[in-house]
Structure 1
Amino acid sequence: MLPADLDDPSRSPQEAAARQVAAEAVTHAATMPDHWPRASILVVDDEPGMRHFLEKALAPRVREVMGAGSAEEAEQLLRSHRYDLVLLDIALPGRNGIDLLKDMRAQGITAEVVLITAFADLETAIEALRAGAGDMLLKPFRLTQVLGAVRHGLERAQLRRENWVLRRNLTQRTPPADGLVGQSIVIKGLQAALRRVATVDSTVLLTGESGTGKELAALALHRLSAHAAAPFVPVNCATTAPAQLEAELFGHGGQGPGREGLFVMAHGGTLFLDEVGELPAALQGTLLRVLEDRRVRAPGSERSVPVDVRIVAATNRPLADDVRDGRFRADLYYRLQVVELRLPPLRAHKEDIPDLVAHFIDTLAPRLGVAPIEVTADEMRFLQQYDWPGNVRELRNLLERSLIVGALNVSALYQSLPKPALRRSEPVAGTASASTEPAPLDLHTLEKRHILAVLESVGGDKTEAAQRLGISRRTLERRVAEWAADGSLPASPIDGH
């Protein structure tokens, strides 16, 4: 039931409408599912009754709601706060709402805007859309209409940020592999640590050699956390020029349209700073200030806006050494190293290689549009003997090339990397491994078996076999001639194609 004083004839129509909204808020609060715990909303309306009641209706549903009674007051709040959505009355004293909206867009403020008006016509609606409004509410309105407009506006804001992040990722980086795969004690321990750390918002520093999957670990932290519904925004600090990196991270202001940076785009989600040790000294200080204040101010802008972002950083070299040598700020290092997780190199968990091989073949073959390849037991033994200086990334790249040529292309390992990377572990006499484990194959034996297996699979066609092996036909013919000369070439369908 609505309060009796709503029918009081001494009250203005605006006050009556505001009290109507407030009364509906009471009855709707328990039944409406709309709830946006990370959203921040600004209500701009010169009618105090309507403004206050809108604030009260939205306050239980969002993280923060603030009010302004004029365009000038709203501008002051927009300079010091970040809002996901603005409920903006058109008929304001002084500058109207559409003029304020145009100024917001010119300054690079991308918050969704829902305009409120008591006198809507087609010309006003067209001007509002051109200025960048996402929706328009006509007074008097019901609370369900307000909540519907807010819900749709916040959904548009989320989709816009996610689309921007996806487009950036597609144009600037190669998509990562698909997960932390393995059943070894080392990987299971890492997975358990990620699950524990994901439940808190502390800053995490991931360390480990290149190719060990630090971005995968960061993505796992994001997906296991309360930030999973918001964007995961990766940035490589080593591959971006310092001047560009500053604009990428913090945005830019000054003359002309501004632009929000990755901290704002990742609001509510996770910002992954890969190769953080490569940050220039000036940006190290800026990053430290953001971590301490949780506010971002774009270069050339007077706006300092709060950000709610989980920071995960990664490095492939010991930052403690950089701190000792004066290349990295000690205070920033301790800010980033609240929790430190080290990712193991592939040579430390070679028992996971069969699972990784199966995983990459299963995921890459459909993407490439090719048939899966078979990996023989001898080939798998070779893969488990190899030390993988490029770690999981090197294994993935090998399998992608092999899928393209149609056979496991271990010849690439022979040609591109030094022989010491292949270790032949000699079993100790009298140990269990000496009696139960098969002796590792030497490089030349495995190479011969592999080449002959590929030749047999293509019916002896040397041109096709050379292409699949990634070597020249002349090299293939020389190898076959050597084996024939020493009598070690078995009978097989090898011809002179």
Structure 2
Amino acid sequence: MGALPRENPGGCTQEPLETLPVCEGVLVLLNEPGMRDFVKAALQQHFARIDTAATADEARKMATETCYRFMIADIRLPGGPRGIELAQELRELSSLEMDVIFITGCGDVQDEIDAMRDATADVLRKPFHAEQLLALIKRAGDRRRTAREIFLRDRESDQRPVPERIVGDSDAIKDLWRTIRRVAPTASTVLIKGETGAGKELVARSLHDLSGRQGSYVPVNCGAISPDLIEGELFGHLKGAFTGAHQARNGLFGHADGGTLFLDEIGEMPLGLQAKLLRVLEARSYRPVGGNQEIPINTRVIAATNRDLAAEVLAGRFRKDLYYRINVIDLRLPPLRERKDDIPRLAEHFLTILSAELGVPKPELTAWDREQLIRYDWPGNCRELRNVIERSLLLGKPPSCYIAATDPAGTPDRPVTEATPRSLATMQRSHIMNALLAAGGNKTLAARSLGISRKTVERKLKEWADPNLCDTGTLDG
């Protein structure tokens, strides 16, 4: 665990335990040279780019040349605008949303109140420790990822009519649609089971849109939020509930009142929070962090997992009572290898939408391409198929060029054919290892390219029990 952080293409060096978010850079705008040096030293091991400025003019010049995701600034700047106005000005120079941490003194009370009205800003009072600054940066990164995930998923789903979301004519998909239409109007809790990339999110969104519920559809990935933040994300908090809680905040359960809350990867939820979720499902009310009063809700919960939750219960990693509570309606989404007749239609679907998005001509699939697509087992399911189609459109080569695996002997990039059969476990191992090699050994980047969590990659490496692979100094993300 003593490995040095590695730099990734995003411009941010990451700790071995991935405690800080990826970003383009940090702009430090502080009056005092000693304070600038202190903040830069505190962030040096976490970020590859840290620019410092002493005046607003210097900060403006830097913002025209670099796109910053974080700014740490004095709330009062001598001889210029307040830090709040400057932050808004710099945001307008950038195409990305910039999170700001304002540094204040005891006499800046009104400025501090004004800063609190900014949803993407936090305030840190002097004096402070480096750990406090890093905690605020981490919280801002988690907050931004959650908001982006909700926005992108809602936007993608809203663009397609419900019948077009899950593509396929196989018997398994027809049975799935019959069940979706039957249970959608009910208020029953649904558990969607399926492998990574199979389309569990599409099923959840379809259940909501066919339910007739007037409230919002709110998805949250339980594995993407750190355990110390997820309770506040779900239930919200009151002002003063913890250090830095300067104002009350509504949680995702509150946002989904009258609608649907989709708990993706519920198997990643910490055990302590599982007990609180069970109580919410039973009582139909929740209690914000730091509060004593129960708030009633009318929220339908849909959960999804790629794990065997029954096995997780036996292993003591998931509560039995919660498992029975969420498993009222059990929907299994079949993996792509079990509905291979749907693969050509799915490929055509992805070719149509991606060629339009990328602005390139839509090519025709050859008989050879169709045959190779059907033969491949697709351990990454629909997400992997989409990635292969997108890669082929961008690079101008047939999809069959990108269906490859590494055999146990180590021969790379050999096409999968009937003459080279492989078990699913071997294919999965090859796929993850190819992603790790492509990412230079960075587990985080490899997990993102595969559409799975970093924890999944680490768990697989431990299962294969190869000390060269499990060594965090060799493959560190």
What TM-score comes out, normalization by structure 2 length?
0.52
Does residue 236 of the first structure (1) align with residue 221 of the second (2)?
Answer: yes
What does 1:252-263 correspond to in 2, within 5 Å?
252-255=237-240, 256-263=246-253
Select which of 190, 194, 204 maps to 1:218.
204
User: Are residues 245 and 421 of structure 1, via their aligned partners in 2, closer, same or farther at CA, if it must alter by over 3 Å?
Assistant: farther
User: How do residues 297-308 of structure 1 correspond to structure 2 at under 5 angstroms?
Assistant: 297-308=287-298
Q: What's the CA shift for 1:402?
A: 1.4
Distance 2:397 2:414 in 1: 24
Count how many residue pairs are aligned between Structure 1 and Structure 2: 263
Residue in 1 that maps onto 2:259:
269
Q: 1:301: how far off?
A: 2.1
Q: Give the fraction of aligned pairs with identical amino acids, expressed as a percent.
A: 48
The 3 A distance-change label for structure 1 pair 413 and 425 is: closer
Correspondences of 1:149-298 after superposition (within 5 Å): 169-170=150-151, 175=156, 179-227=165-213, 229-255=214-240, 256-298=246-288
Distance 2:201 2:346 in 1: 17
Question: Residue 343 of structure 1 corresponds to which residue in structure 2?
Answer: 333
Structure 1 unpaired stretches of 5+: 1-131, 133-163, 427-497
Q: 1:371-425 deviations in whole A, cap 9, x for unaligned?
A: 2122111111110111111111110111111122233243332257878993529
Deviations 1:69-127 (A, max 9, x none): xxxxxxxxxxxxxxxxxxxxxxxxxxxxxxxxxxxxxxxxxxxxxxxxxxxxxxxxxxx
| Residue 230 of structure 1, CA deviation | 2.5
Specify the SS of the correspondent of 1:191: helix
- Separation in 2 of the partners of 1:334 and 1:357? 37
Q: 1:352 to 1:218 in 2, by over 3 A?
A: same
Question: Does the C-alpha gap of structure 1 residues 341 and 420 become closer, same or farther in structure 2, counting only changes over 3 Å?
Answer: farther
Name the CA distance, whole Å, in 1 between partners of 2:276 and 2:347. 42
Q: Provide, for residues 145-204 of structure 1, a one-character-per-residue CA deviation record: whole Å limited to 9, x for no partner.
A: xxxxxxxxxxxxxxxxxxx99755247999579611011111111111111111211000
Task: Tell me if the contact between 2:372 and 2:417 (Cα under 8 Å) persists in the aligned partners.
Answer: no
Contact 1:274 1:313 in 2 (8 A): yes
Q: Which of 290, 294, 306 is the matching residue for 1:316?
A: 306
Q: Which amino acid aligns with 2:222?
A: C
Alpha-carbon distance in 2 for matches of 1:377, 1:246: 51
Equivalent residue for 1:352?
Answer: 342
CA contact (8 A) 1:232 1:272 kept: yes
Give the structure with higher Rg (CA).
1
The question of whether the paired residues in 2 share the 8 Å contact of 1:254 and 1:299 is answered with no
Q: Distance in 1 between matches of 2:180 and 2:147?
A: 24
Return closer, same or farther for 1:223/1:172 CA change in 2, 3 Å cut-off. closer
Does the 8 Å contact 1:203/1:338 carry over to 2? Answer: yes
User: Any idea what the Cα deviations from partners look like across 1:19-40, whole Å, max 9, x if unmatched?
Assistant: xxxxxxxxxxxxxxxxxxxxxx
C-alpha spacing 1:167/1:345, structure 2 compared with 1 (3 Å): closer
1:392 is matched with 382
Gaps of 5+ in 2: 1-116, 118-144, 241-245, 421-477
Q: Distance in 2 between matches of 1:173 and 1:420?
A: 38
- Distance in 2 between residues matched to 1:391 and 1:382, nearest whole Å: 15
- C-alpha distance in 1, partners of 2:278/2:415? 40
**What is the Cα deviation at residue 207 of structure 1?**
0.5
Aligned to 1:154: none
Amino acid at match of 2:180: L
Q: Which residue of 2 aligns with 1:424?
A: 418
CA, structure 1 residues 359+389, in 2 after alignment: closer, same or farther (shift >3 Å)? Answer: same
Q: Distance in 1 between matches of 2:337 and 2:323?
A: 28
CA RMSD of aligned residues (A): 2.8
SS of 2:218's partner is: strand
TM-score by length of 1: 0.50
Partners of 1:388 and 1:421 within 8 A in 2: no
Q: Aligned partners of 1:272 and 1:238: how far apart in 2?
A: 13
C-alpha distance in 1, partners of 2:198/2:236? Answer: 31
1:206 to 1:172, Cα distance in 2 relative to 1, 3 A: closer
Tell me how far 1:247 sits from its aligned partner: 1.1
